[in-house]
């Protein structure tokens, strides 16, 4: 997404200020926001010309020419959804907002069609044993199980490449040769792949201590047994705009207690709630980390990602959550594996 700080106006801004933004910027649009950066509307050259024809002058407020119902997308929209929306309405750019309506960027459609290659690393944790998926994982590691007529890991690689993230590190262990023989150096998949062999299990964060070349810019970490169509570019932008040291994708999870829950104080019954639903946010196994986190990861020790985030929190570092509303499936059991195969064609 494009940075929008120099595109913002407020309703008391003048038409002359709007013209300056539109004429001197390459995006040919101004974004009108309130004091909390909530998007109120947009202004284009056409809006200004129509205002001038109605008798407004350059010192008039933009309030009466703001287009208050622009087409927008949210951080949870995938690349495909944004592109489809833009093409259907013949738009060259779409404002991106948060769930609360705060504008955080402007997506140029040209960039979606021709994604820019990015240098940020993608670290994929693909060394798991897949015990709960036996006997399917007897001869192959879990990320290499076929879903949609291709390995799970291939879909993950393709999705990152779709957004221009082509520098991939795979942390391998169990049946590592199967992965390495299939992907090689990544050339045939349009990416660059390096491998880190975990001699022993290091955990989702501990394996990062084995990186030969330490990242100098924010990097992704993702479990290799997930299927998702999350917009990785939006996750990247969100991490940057929130000044995050560590950003964790989270997923809403709920379960229903199958009984009436009795709330008591000593022996007195205070209330009875019939089959209540409890909701939580759980880690989705996808992260974006800044290089500074590496100093908190011990060398050659088992260290998982929750422990890393707990450490960062204890050090008052800025840890951020990125709620996922896109398709997401953790393939940990036979049931999820079967579900993934049933849904793959529709989703991907």
Read off the CATH number of the domain in which 70 is found.
3.10.580.10
Residues 12 and 88 in one domain: yes
**Helix or strand run (H / E) with residue 234:** helix 232-241
Tell me: do 159 and 307 sit in the same domain. yes
Q: How far apart are CA 348 and CA 345, in angstroms?
A: 5
- How distant, in Å, are the alpha carbons of 8, 38, 51, 203 from that of 42? 9, 12, 14, 47
Pair (235, 274) in one structural domain: yes
Q: What tens digit of pLDDT does each residue of 252-306 get? A: 887 788 888 888 888 888 888 888 888 888 889 999 999 999 999 998 888 899 9
107, 134: one domain: no
Q: Are residues 138 and 226 in the same domain?
A: yes
pLDDT tens by residue, 152-171: 999 999 999 988 999 999 99
Shared domain for 62 and 200, answered yes or no, is no
Are 181 and 319 members of one domain?
Answer: yes
Instruction: Please write the tens of the pLDDT for every residue from 302-318.
Output: 889 999 999 999 999 99
> Confidence band (pLDDT; 50, 70, 90) for 130?
low
3-state DSSP helix/strand/coil % of the chain, to nearest 5? 35, 30, 35
Please give the model's pTM, rounded to 2 decimal places. Answer: 0.67
Residues 164 and 28 in one domain: no
SS3 state at 90: coil
Q: Do 323 and 278 share a structural domain?
A: yes
Number of domains in the chain: 2
Q: Which of 88, 113, 138 is the last residue of a domain?
A: 113
Claim to verify: residue 50 and residue 85 sit in the same structural domain: yes
pLDDT for res 126: 87
Pair (251, 107) in one structural domain: no
Q: Which contiguous run of DSSP H or E holds residue 166?
A: strand 165-172
> CATH number of the domain that 128 lies in?
3.90.550.10
pLDDT in tens, 182-203: 999 999 888 999 998 887 788 8
Domain boundary among 78, 113, 148: 113
Where among 83, 113, 143 does a domain terminate?
Answer: 113
- What is the layout of strands, in order, in the sheet containing 93-97? 73-74, 93-97, 103-108
- Find the domain containing 14 and state its range: 5-113
Same domain, 138 and 265: yes
Per DSSP, 132 falls in state G
């Amino acid at each position: 997404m494009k940075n929008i700080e120099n595109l913002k106006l407020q309703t008391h801004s003048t038409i002359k200020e709007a013209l300056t933004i539109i004429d001197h910027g390459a995006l040919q649009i101004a974004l009108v926001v309130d004091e909390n950066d909530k998007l109120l509307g947009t202004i284009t050259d056409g809006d200004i010309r129509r205002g001038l024809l109605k008798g407004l002058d350059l010192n008039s407020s933009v309030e009466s020419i703001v287009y208050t119902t622009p087409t927008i997308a949210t951080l949870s929209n995938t690349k495909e959804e944004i592109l489809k929306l833009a093409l259907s309405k013949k738009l060259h750019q779409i404002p991106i907002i948060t769930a609360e309506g705060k504008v955080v960027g402007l997506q140029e459609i040209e960039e979606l069609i021709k994604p820019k290659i990015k240098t940020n690393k993608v670290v994929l944790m693909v060394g798991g044993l897949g015990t709960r998926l036996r006997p399917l994982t007897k001869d192959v590691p879990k990320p290499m199980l076929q879903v949609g007529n291709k390995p799970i890991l291939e879909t993950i690689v393709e999705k990152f490449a779709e957004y221009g993230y082509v520098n991939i590190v795979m942390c391998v262990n169990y049946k590592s040769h199967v992965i390495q023989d299939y992907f090689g150096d990544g050339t045939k998949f349009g990416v660059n792949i390096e491998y880190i062999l975990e001699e022993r299990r290091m955990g989702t964060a501990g394996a990062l201590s084995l990186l030969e070349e330490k990242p100098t810019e924010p990097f992704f970490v993702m479990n290799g047994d997930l299927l998702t169509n999350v917009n990785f570019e939006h996750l990247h932008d969100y991490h940057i705009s929130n000044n995050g040291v560590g950003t964790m994708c989270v997923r809403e999870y709920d379960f229903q207690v199958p009984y009436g829950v009795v709330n008591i104080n000593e022996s007195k019954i205070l209330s009875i709630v019939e089959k209540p639903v409890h909701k939580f946010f759980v880690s989705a196994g996808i992260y974006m980390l800044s290089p500074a986190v590496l100093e908190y990861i011990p060398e050659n020790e088992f260290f998982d990602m929750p422990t890393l985030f707990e450490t960062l929190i204890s050090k008052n570092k800025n840890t951020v959550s990125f709620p996922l509303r896109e398709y997401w499936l953790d393939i940990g059991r036979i049931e999820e594996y079967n579900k993934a195969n049933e849904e793959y064609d529709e989703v991907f």
